Structure 1
Amino acid sequence: MDPVIVVGAGPVGLTLALALARQDVPCVVLDEGPGKDEPRPARTVVLRDDTAALMERLTGLSLDHAGFRWAGWRSVRRKQVTNEVAFEDAETAPLHIAQHVLTGALRAALEHERLVKVAVDSRLDALEQERSGVTAHTRGASGTWWRGSYLVGCDGPRSTVRKLQDIRFPGRTAVERHAVAALRTELPWQDEALLHRSPPWRTSGPSAGEITARPLPDEVWRLDWLLPPGKDLVTPEMLLTRIRETLAGWNGGTVPPYELLDTGVHTVHHRLARRWRADRVFLAGDAAHLLGALGTHGLDEGLRDADNLAWKLALAWHHGPHEALLDSYQTERRALVASRLRAADQALPLLRGGGGLRTYVPGSSRSLDTLLMDGHLGRGALGAPGTYAGSPLAPGRLEGEAPVGTEPGAQVTDVTVTAEDGTFVRLRDRLGRGALLVVLIAPGTGVWARRHWVSAGIMPRLAAAVSALPHRAELLVAESYPGAAAHTVLLVRPDGHLVTALNGVRPADMYAAAEAALGGPTGPATPEAGADGRPPGAGTREDAGARAR
């Protein structure tokens, strides 16, 4: 079987290649650049807890040393604090990291991944599809033809893949513009991100109605000034004036020493591709969608694209195409991103209009500040990860369904679980391996060695039900889970979304839910799996490595 071709070596493309390789799928990454990223401290990304965990799982690194987790968040209007949030649990705090540092960590992980070949100076200029695969041509020093089983365009807003497939990309241009500066300095507060609306000091030039300050390691801060609508040129002189006025405003009129590291202009567009799949070609990340107004961050959604698509492509690569499963990528992800865009577009007139609701409703400014804060912190309609409740992979009504603190289709809560080898691990650490996860909630098991309870009570019956599922699954045991009663059984997709929760061991319901999560029945019964749990001919990691080479 030919490797998967990933076009684009940004964070989304590199993430997808790593996620596929961890599921024994060989990849070729077509990188139009030289294979390294220019350091740009003013170009940063904010990762929520789920995407930060995904990055750490794939790179094997703790990103806390490369990025900065905020200790808190503060919203200020003129001189009044309107909202404050303290992140007591560092793992739930947003992670702020320079994009070149993140891609560097992903590239370093790929250097040790023998299933992935990165072709630098390779710009895609043509592709052809047949029933059995995809052929892509690149120009440049390494210009050649590449043969793949599937191709994924992760090549950004001006995606060549999208254009070659004649996929429309409608939406709104320049929804917001921000002047950006990265500088090393001391601010009156430490470790907290700040959103300052309507600052009280006078500004030269267009009014600075909103300023965001986000900390990075080594006393570096990224400052963003929301620019008024229009195409006014952001000159170096104007930006330096903004920096001095802002620092003086925050420091009682005195400009503290600072070192300017980088500057830029960040323009936000809102666009959504009409299709995310064209037979064996897929779109992900900025090639499929652009969003980012009101504090939302498009990279989070791009990484979730990669996580959603990886396990589905891996299953199709190993076991043969399953159209319903592959189609569900577009259905799930496009609907979720579309809802995020709608929420931002509906909020924009209220938050940026200057009048409207706040003119008539007492306290509305504070509620609007909370809405804007939610976008920055990954909460509410503007920022929450969202669920796949309406997914075609959701099972129908099951007799043994049990309520838990997670909706079906939502991401599971990260709890401590006991793995099959008896070790204690985090639930999220077991994701991304291509296997379904079956989690039994069994209070008291944490104080006993696994050998004492693995063959007792309902465990043998549950283990037999897990082994009979239509896809490889891992059985885990947790002391507790939010909202779950004892002996509740959770079925979790490889990307961490809950399929269903059952009240006890119900083999028929479990099988039906697993079959639905895989896209439904695949047709006639397949040959019996081999000792490694794969159907005959699925191949091993060694076979895949040989094909990638």
Structure 2
Amino acid sequence: MLDVLVVGAGPTGLVHALWLHSQGVKVRIIDRTGAPGTTSRAMAVQARTLELYRQLGLTDEVVSAGFRTPAMNIWARGKHRARIAVQDIGRGISPYPFILVYPQDFHEKTLVAKLRSLGIEVERNTELLSLEDKGEHVASRVRRADGTEETIHARYLAACDGASSTVRKQLGIGFEGGTYRHVFYVADVELSGLDNAGEAHIALNGEDFVVVLPYSSDGKARFIGTVRDERAEHAENLTFDDVGHEAMASVGIHVDKVNWFSHYRVHHRVADRFRQGRVFLMGDAGHVHSPAGGQGMNTGILDAINLAWKLAAVIHGQAPDALLDTYATERQAFARELVKTTDRIFSLVTADGGFANLMRSYGVPLIAGVIYTIGSARETLFKMVSQTGLAYKDSPLSEGRAGDVEGGDRLPWVNVDGQDNFEPLPVIGWQVHVYGTATPGVRAWCLRNGVTLRQFSWADEHGKAGLKENAVYLLRPDTWVALADPEGSADTLDAYFTSRS
């Protein structure tokens, strides 16, 4: 029998299928569309995503194909208010301290090609009609473009089928939240007339604004803005000529060509539950929010990775079913917090009225400039946007503290004389890190249980990163810290797994 049926071949579904296959799980992936998307849509690939892509051998390809944003410029009423250098904003935090722009259409093609190289084809023009959880497996009825139908039997179903998820609706799972009243537009354009066109720009002009995100060195960029007047009431007929051009004109932008234009209303919603029996919701099927910070696609990818290693463990008989409940516990809590955070930012950016205009014109540039000059604030901002600060401290899988590192934290990245503690394992799995010397008991425990032991010669850089000498750090297959033991004891390792079956 098939292990997992993945419904939806956007980045979330594709990454989920890749991670499952890499762990020996039998997987099929279907999508009702005839081909990958051909428009840019999501743009940013965050540092935490790039760190995890190393385990699939994808990072170098994505980084080399993407566009590193050197700086963010803030304009207000035609005047340049701030320039924030971001090319190394996360230096010392991640091996990928930059903001990478890699349009989703290119991104999806890369993931599809990786799957194909492993012998897995996305089954296109294949629509999910219905599903039934039969207790021991899920039976899914699908229809292909030629009208033929098939019932696919799989032990689990992963719903990655977007905000209008068929799976979520058929299961009757609530999707509480709301919709912002503003109509937004996105456009992929070729532009001229803008100084430093290879850098990102936010142009604020009263109630009109435009975000400019370049994704090549030859003038191609993504525009994001709002439609605020009576034209928003008839958004179905909008074209690029209908949107506000005041902010663009205020900074000298001339649009030479529009390659793609779309408009939408932004929702903020989180599903009532991320798991129902043998079915799991991921990505936009489980949570949608404003585009502030470029979090959406990356959050879906981290959903996919979080669930994939847990499914593999249960399918291979290495863990009880209860492990799968921690997917919902960890990812739903993060989704709810993310929606709150992006909602606050979004509300500030889109608020109406004189005071809001004043804040956008003068307050936002001032605050942004101050944050950039304060190291701790800049570090906090990078960790939040890049998702390198994401932790699962309240998870039942998280335990202990050693130094400044707690169970549930992302392991601090440290590179000492070229020795990178994020170097991926040949096979995705658990690992133990010791910065200093592991005891004979720990070495024997790792050998006996088939867990990779990695020892790093103690250096001052480890202490500065918050690690404790000779402590044991047990890492989950997705490289978050499961257990931090300051005593470096094999008994503690044994007790961790025994208590969780």
TM-score norm. by structure 1 comes to: 0.77
Match of 1:16 in 2: 16
Match of 2:156 in 1: 150
**SS in structure 2 at match of 1:224:** strand
Match of 2:500 in 1: 521
Larger Cα-atom Rg: 1
The Cα shift of 1:164 comes to 1.5
Once the two structures are overlaid, the 10-residue window that deviates more, 11-20 or 262-271, is 262-271
The Cα shift of 1:93 comes to 1.1
Would you say the 8 A contact 2:210–2:248 is kept in 1? no
2:500 alignment partner AA = P
The Cα shift of 1:250 comes to 2.1
Q: 1:258 aligns with which of 256, 259, 269?
A: 256
* 2:490 aligned with 1:489: no
Once the two structures are overlaid, the 10-residue window that deviates more, 236-245 or 1-10, is 236-245
Query: Superposed, which structure 2 residues align to 1:17-32 within 5 Å?
Result: 17-32=17-32
Once the two structures are overlaid, the 10-residue window that deviates more, 346-355 or 158-167, is 346-355
1:345-381 Cα distance to aligned partner (Å, 9 max, x none): 3444444434679989xx8545765799999x96476
Would you say the 8 A contact 1:76–1:83 is kept in 2? no
Over 3 Å counting, the alpha-carbon distance change for 1:28 and 1:364 in structure 2 is: same
Would you say the 8 A contact 2:227–2:243 is kept in 1? no
**SS in structure 1 at match of 2:122:** strand
* 2:58 aligned with 1:64: no
Over 3 Å counting, the alpha-carbon distance change for 1:322 and 1:77 in structure 2 is: farther
The Cα shift of 1:178 comes to 2.2
1:20 alignment partner AA = L
* 2:102 aligned with 1:97: yes
The Cα shift of 1:85 comes to 3.1
Whole-angstrom CA distance in 2 between matches of 1:458 and 1:403: 16
1:89-143 Cα distance to aligned partner (Å, 9 max, x none): 58221211111111100110111223x4532221011111122211111012352
**SS in structure 1 at match of 2:163:** coil
Over 3 Å counting, the alpha-carbon distance change for 1:426 and 1:74 in structure 2 is: farther
* 2:438 aligned with 1:439: no
**SS in structure 1 at match of 2:250:** helix
The Cα shift of 1:499 comes to 2.0
**SS in structure 1 at match of 2:482:** strand
The Cα shift of 1:13 comes to 0.5
Match of 2:444 in 1: 464
The Cα shift of 1:439 comes to 1.1
1:423-457 Cα distance to aligned partner (Å, 9 max, x none): 966515239x4411211113xxxxxxxxxxxxxx6
The Cα shift of 1:468 comes to 4.3
2:403 alignment partner AA = P
Over 3 Å counting, the alpha-carbon distance change for 1:300 and 1:343 in structure 2 is: same
Match of 2:52 in 1: 54
1:87 alignment partner AA = Q
Whole-angstrom CA distance in 1 between matches of 2:488 and 2:390: 29
The Cα shift of 1:458 comes to 4.0
Over the residues paired in the alignment, what is the CA RMSD in angstroms? 3.4
The Cα shift of 1:310 comes to 0.5
2:300 alignment partner AA = G
* 2:455 aligned with 1:477: yes
Whole-angstrom CA distance in 1 between matches of 2:106 and 2:68: 15
Q: 2:343 aligns with which of 325, 342, 345?
A: 345
Aligned length in residues:
476
* 2:130 aligned with 1:126: yes
Over 3 Å counting, the alpha-carbon distance change for 1:44 and 1:298 in structure 2 is: closer
Match of 1:386 in 2: 390
Once the two structures are overlaid, the 10-residue window that deviates more, 217-226 or 239-248, is 239-248
Whole-angstrom CA distance in 2 between matches of 1:323 and 1:417: 40
* 2:492 aligned with 1:512: no
Over 3 Å counting, the alpha-carbon distance change for 1:285 and 1:370 in structure 2 is: farther
Would you say the 8 A contact 1:215–1:222 is kept in 2? yes
The Cα shift of 1:52 comes to 2.6
2:36 alignment partner AA = D
Over 3 Å counting, the alpha-carbon distance change for 1:505 and 1:488 in structure 2 is: closer
Match of 1:198 in 2: 205
The Cα shift of 1:459 comes to 5.6
2:424 alignment partner AA = D
The Cα shift of 1:308 comes to 0.6
Would you say the 8 A contact 1:48–1:92 is kept in 2? no
**SS in structure 2 at match of 1:183:** strand
**SS in structure 2 at match of 1:223:** strand
The Cα shift of 1:228 comes to 2.6
Whole-angstrom CA distance in 2 between matches of 1:171 and 1:75: 31
The Cα shift of 1:248 comes to 4.1
2:414 alignment partner AA = V
Over 3 Å counting, the alpha-carbon distance change for 1:196 and 1:67 in structure 2 is: same
1:72-95 Cα distance to aligned partner (Å, 9 max, x none): 223333324246233235822121
Query: Superposed, which structure 2 residues align to 1:407-418 within 5 Å?
Result: 407-416=406-415
Over 3 Å counting, the alpha-carbon distance change for 1:417 and 1:280 in structure 2 is: farther
Whole-angstrom CA distance in 2 between matches of 1:110 and 1:68: 23
The Cα shift of 1:243 comes to 8.3
Would you say the 8 A contact 2:397–2:408 is kept in 1? no
Would you say the 8 A contact 2:3–2:156 is kept in 1? yes
Match of 1:544 in 2: none
Whole-angstrom CA distance in 2 between matches of 1:135 and 1:152: 13
Match of 1:451 in 2: none
Over 3 Å counting, the alpha-carbon distance change for 1:173 and 1:243 in structure 2 is: closer
Over 3 Å counting, the alpha-carbon distance change for 1:468 and 1:229 in structure 2 is: farther
Whole-angstrom CA distance in 2 between matches of 1:358 and 1:265: 23
Would you say the 8 A contact 1:196–1:211 is kept in 2? yes
Over 3 Å counting, the alpha-carbon distance change for 1:26 and 1:426 in structure 2 is: farther
Would you say the 8 A contact 2:54–2:424 is kept in 1? no
Whole-angstrom CA distance in 2 between matches of 1:494 and 1:103: 24
Whole-angstrom CA distance in 2 between matches of 1:372 and 1:97: 26
Query: Superposed, which structure 2 residues align to 1:230-269 within 5 Å?
Result: 231-233=232-234, 239-240=240-241, 246-251=247-252, 258-269=256-267
Would you say the 8 A contact 1:294–1:372 is kept in 2? no
Once the two structures are overlaid, the 10-residue window that deviates more, 5-14 or 138-147, is 138-147
Match of 2:228 in 1: 228
Query: Superposed, which structure 2 residues align to 1:264-279 within 5 Å?
Result: 264-279=262-277
1:502 alignment partner AA = D
Over 3 Å counting, the alpha-carbon distance change for 1:357 and 1:198 in structure 2 is: closer
Query: Superposed, which structure 2 residues align to 1:251-330 within 5 Å?
Result: 251=252, 258-319=256-317, 322-330=320-328
Aligned-pair identity in percent equals 26
Whole-angstrom CA distance in 2 between matches of 1:166 and 1:505: 47
Gaps of at least 5 residues in structure 2 are: none
Over 3 Å counting, the alpha-carbon distance change for 1:368 and 1:138 in structure 2 is: farther
